[in-house]
Amino acid sequence: MDIPNYDDMLAAHERIKPHIRRTEVRTSAYLNEVAGADLFFKCENFQEPGAFKVRGATNAVFGLDDAQAAKGVATHSSGNHASCLSYAAMLRGIPCNVVMPRTAPQAKKDTVRRYGGRITECEPSTTSREETFAKVQAQTGGDFVHPYNDPRVIAGQGTCSKEFMEQTDGLDMVVAPIGGGGMISGTCLTLSTLAPETQIIAAEPEQADDAYRSFKAGHIIADDAPKTIADGLLVPLKDLTWHFVSNHVAEIYTASDAEIIDAMKLTWKHLRVVMEPSSAVPLATILKNRAAFEGKRVGAIITGGNVDLDKLPWTL
C-alpha cells in the first residue's frame, strides 16, 4: 500500500495551484451562537467544478507522464469526482471516461458532460459500479483515478486543510463529511504533521453509517447500496483511507437525513452559500453533539455545492 506523506501534499499543492481556487472561509455570528462555538466554514463549493475533489483529481491528471496522459483517465463516481476529473482532463486536453449510478443527480451528470466527460451508467450499488468500470477501463486503457483510495487523490485533498489552517490561524477541531474517506484522509495527512493538536472529526449520515460502524469495530464494514439524502457519501472505506481514519480520526458522529436537511437550510440562510446535502452533515453533527464542540474553534469543510435545484431535499 503506497501511503502518501506530508511532502506529497506539499508537492501536490505546488502542482495544482495554477488550476484551483484558494477558497474563502466564511463565518456566521448566528451559527456561532446556535453551536456555542466559533465556527469556520471552508467553502470548497466555490471551486470551479463545485467541489473539493478538483484538488485530488487535478493532482492525479497533471502528475501523469505524456504517454499515459494520451490514453486519458477513467473513474467511477456518484458525481463530484466525475465532474472534477472531467474538468482536470479538459484543462490538460485528454479524454475522461466515468461510470456513474443512473440515480446520480442530473445536475452532476450535466456538469460531467459540460467538461467533456463521457458517462457510462450503472446500477446504484458498489458492486455494479465496480463491475461496469472494469469493462470501461478495459476498453479505453485510461489511467484509473480512484475517487478516494488513491495516494495522488489523498495528497491533493490534503491541500484543503493546509489552506484552512493558514486562513484561520489554527483550529481546535476540523470536521469533514466521510463517505469513502478521501477528504478525511487528506485532512489526517496534513494535520497530523502541520497541527497534531487539532482533533479530526468525521461526520456521516445515519442511513449510510458504515464508516462509524467500522470505526467502532476496528475493521472495515462495507454497505453495498445505502440510501441517504447525502448522495455524495454512499461509498465504503477502502484500505488506504481506512489507514488514515483508524490512525488519526478522533471521533465519528452521525446525523439523520432530517437533521442534515435542517443544517443545510441553516447554512443556505445564514452563510448564504449553495451547498449539497453531504456538505451539511458536519454542521448537523456539531449541533447534535453541542457539548463536544462548545467553546472551541471548529473548522467545517463545505465539500461541494452541486445540487439539482429542481429537486431540493426539503421540497421532495
CA distance 80 to 56: 11
Q: Give the gyration radius of the chain's Cα atoms.
A: 18
pLDDT tens-digit map of 188-240: 999 999 999 999 999 999 999 999 999 999 999 988 778 898 988 988 999 99
Residue 314 has pLDDT above 90, yes or no: no
Report yes or no: 15 and 62 within 8 Å, Cβ to Cβ. yes
% of residues, the chain, pLDDT over 90: 85
Highest mean pLDDT among 107-116, 160-169, 221-230: 160-169
The predicted structure's pLDDT at residue 224: 76
Beta carbons within 8 Å of 138's beta carbon, 6+ residues apart: none
Cβ-contact 175, 299 below 8 angstroms: yes
pLDDT at position 249, please?
98
For residue 302, the model assigns a pLDDT of 98
Q: How confident is the model at residue 106, as a pLDDT?
A: 84
Q: How confident is the model at residue 130 (pLDDT cuts 50, 70, 90)?
A: confident
Q: What percent of the chain has pLDDT over 70?
A: 100
List, in order of start, the domains of the chain with CATH numbers: 6-51+150-309 (3.40.50.1100), 54-144 (3.40.50.1100)
Q: What is the pTM of this model?
A: 0.95
Which of 155, 60, 82 minimizes the C-alpha distance to 306?
82
Range in 18-27, 161-170, 222-231, 252-261 with the lowest mean pLDDT: 222-231
The mean of the pLDDT values for the chain is 95
Nearest alpha-carbon partner for 182 in 148, 215, 205? 148
Q: Rounded CA gap, 236 and 295, in Å?
A: 33
Q: What is the structure's pLDDT at 1?
A: 73
Pairwise CA distance, residues 188 & 210, whole Å? 19
Higher pLDDT, 201 or 306: 201
Q: How many CA atoms lie within 13 A of 11 on its CB side?
A: 13
